[in-house]
Amino acid sequence: MNKELIIDVEEKEVKIALLEKGQLLELHIDIMNKKFSVGDIYFGIVKKILYGLNAAIIDIGYSKGAFLHYDDIGFQIDQMLDLISSYNHLKKKSDNSENQEKKNSINHILHIGQRILVQISKEPISNKGPKLTTKICIPGRNLILIPFSEKISISKKIKNIKEKNRLISYIKKIIPNKYGIIIRTAAHNEMEKVLNEELLFLIKKWKKTLNNLIKFIPPVCVLNENNKIYCLLRDIFNDDFKSILCNNEFLCKEIHSYLSFIFPKKTNIIKYYKGNIPIFEKYGIEKQIQIFLGKNVPLENGAYLIIEHTEALHVIDVNSGMINHMMKDCTKSERINNIFKINLIAATEIARQLRLRDMGGIIVVDFIDMYDSIQKKKLYEHLKEKMKNDRARHQILPPNKFGLVQFTRRRIRPELKKININNKKYQNYPEDYIHHLEFVIETIIKNKNHKGIQLHIHSFVSAFLKKGFPSIQQKWLLKYKKWIKIIPKDSFRYTEYKFLNKNHEILLSSFYFH
């Protein structure tokens, strides 16, 4: 698969777009001088014990206390606390017999004022502070170093038994005591020299972190995770990537230096973009952002998704759209097959939407009703297959008796900000709205050679589309070789519209319908 990384460097933020065959798959925003990123390690202080939640609030320097649950405290906690005590010349609080018998409560492990080493597992979201873990890990491209552990494990994606045995056998030879290792998928067929060098680098990084315990007074960050670009390259870069484009010369050199360390044979794909057109606009990313991050997400066959969000629950409704009108003359078997095809296309887009928006929590999908059990099973398997490349932990349940598919997905960063097509804020971005209308027109033309296409839209928008020479309406004629008749409607809101054919049948509409 051809993958591209497009990087837009602005004054206060860096936007990173991952494309696959030209389609936007992931969008990351790295804010300059931002604190509290996943993977950062902090030397914190226990501020409060939450007995009812079996958790603790840790001060790591954030305005809101960071949250540490009992389940996120690893079995290595005693070794960690002993080490912190020795590094800071503190007297360790003695355990009582109850603690020694059973430490099933966080107050048996931690106490207020205690110094503790923690790692951010989830960034601050909404009004919540960061989520923490004491299961410290130092990730590399091929290996993940686990201090205070002696366990060696290997990625399940490495299927070859001989290769598994080779990697585990070699790591056992070179790993020092009191260190554990997770062998990542990227280590498959990697040279032993490379693995050894990376292990030494990770151990050096960890020892530098420990030295910071002496130098600084908590709360303080003792190890910063690399920025998002380096993390992405470390975690996902492979032979599938055909280009990395960036509009900042200095960052291009930095990426070249980093890539020469982790993947030297691919440094030639890094290119500095010098064009006058903004890089996201040049490669169609801006247009995709506006089209596919709205409440209504169009699908290539004229159907569309409606995505509703709450803090912990997301509901995705699959609508047949204009296909519903095109199926009226179909036989029963054709209608059943068409519905199945719509659901398959919707499932593919849903898998992309979850990654693109980084949606987390519980997701409920209402596919178009299907009564064939074989088709239901195929849809379920298709959805699982499309979710395989999602790095976030997730679990998908089979369709229930109501035809709903439910699954959970773990989110570690705030959800990507959405642009709602029916939101008044959209009025400030007419060019984005035009992008959306053009996508709808392209979808209508591609799916059926409709004649006499009419666009019913608010009077003000109608005037905007007809204004000037050449007007947007005239540009559409040159672009699509079809005249789109625009009919003003005072009763519509600014962002409401309907596309009709010459028989006044609705082809696609911003209004909800099945």
| pLDDT score recorded for residue 347 | 95
In this structure, the number of other CB atoms found within 10 A of the CB of residue 453 comes to 19
Query: Token pair of 419, please?
Result: 């642009």
Phi and psi at 357, nearest 5°, equal -90, -10
Any idea which residue has 């608010």 for tokens?
458
Tokens of 55: 């958790």
Please name the amino acid found at residue 159.
Answer: K
Note down pLDDT in tens along the chain; length 514 residues.
689 999 999 878 899 999 998 899 999 888 776 666 888 999 999 999 999 999 999 999 888 889 999 999 988 888 888 888 877 666 555 454 444 445 678 988 999 999 999 999 988 877 788 999 999 999 999 999 999 888 999 999 899 999 999 999 999 999 998 899 999 999 999 999 999 999 999 999 999 999 888 888 899 999 987 678 888 898 889 889 999 999 999 999 999 999 998 888 999 999 999 988 999 989 989 888 878 887 888 887 778 899 988 767 899 999 886 665 555 667 778 888 888 999 999 999 999 999 998 888 899 999 998 888 899 999 999 999 999 888 888 999 998 888 899 989 987 676 665 443 344 344 445 666 787 788 888 878 876 657 789 999 988 889 899 988 889 999 999 988 889 999 998 888 777 888 888 888 877 777 543 3
pLDDT at 327: 58
Q: How many CB atoms lie within 10 A of CB 203?
A: 16
Q: Show the 3-state SS of 360-427.
A: CEEEEEECCCCCCHHHHHHHHHHHHHHCCCCCCCEEECCCCCCCEEEEEECCCCCCCCCCCCCCHHHH
Query: In the chain, helix, strand, coil percent, each to 5?
Result: 35, 25, 40
Q: What pLDDT does residue 421 have?
A: 37
Tell me the domains of the chain and their CATH numbers.
Answer: 3-35+225-283 (3.30.420), 41-133 (2.40.50.140), 138-223 (no CATH), 291-409 (no CATH), 424-509 (3.40.1260.20)
| Axis-axis angle for helices 472-480, 459-466 (nearest 10) | 70
Instruction: Identify whether the C-beta of residue 148 lies closer than 8 Å to the C-beta of residue 74.
Output: yes
Question: At CA 442, angle to CA 441 and CA 446, rounded to 5?
Answer: 120
| Intra-chain end-to-end CA distance of the chain, in Å | 35
